[in-house]
Amino acid sequence: MKNAGFWVAALVGIAIDRFTKLWVANTMELGQSLPAIPGLFRFTYIENTGAAWSLFRESGGFLKWISLVVALVLVAMALFGQPMRRWEQLGYGCILAGAIGNGVDRFMSGAVVDFLDFVPIDFPIFNVADVAINIGVACLIVGTFASAKPERE
């Protein structure tokens, strides 16, 4: 199968994202916090109509279309493009998982379910799809350096 790592990363990321968001939405009340590691980490259920750090929350819904376009481009790259290197497969697969995970929320309800909340730092609440996107970008960066060949003297 062409770009198998891409598909595995995407499917695993989508499954974990959907499962955790459904768990939060079905077991918690909006605004509720549950301590997981006291003083360090908690689950706090919020809905975000914007992007990262609630940017573009008054966007009128264009973010769902961006998620769709990103997902379609990545699927087309995996299906019709050249075979990807391992880090590219993992990176683009994770980015696809994040785009689909948050895109599904935006199309279904107009808001993304966020719930991962680190207590000691003033950092926005986020979700597994957001983590997948960041892991994907990190994989692409690692892949760029891993594929760079040292110059011979």
Catalytic residue selected from 17, 105, 117, 130 = 130
Go through 36-45 and write b for each residue having 16 or more CB atoms within 10 A of its CB, e for each that does not.
Answer: eeeeeebbbb
| C-beta of residue 114 within 8 angstroms of C-beta of residue 46 | yes
104: which residues sit within 8 A by CB, 6+ positions away? 18
Nearest CA-CA partner of 7 in 103, 79, 67, 66: 79
How far apart are alpha carbons 96 and 132 in whole angstroms?
8
- In what side-by-side order are the strands of the sheet with 41-48? 33-37, 41-48, 112-118
Look at residues 36, 54, 34 and name the one whose alpha carbon lies nearest to residue 112. Answer: 54
The catalytically annotated residue of 17, 105, 114, 117 is 114
Q: Is 114 noted as a catalytic residue in this protein?
A: yes
Other CB atoms within 10 Å distance of the CB of residue 114: 23
Q: Indicate which residues carry an active-site annotation.
A: 114, 130
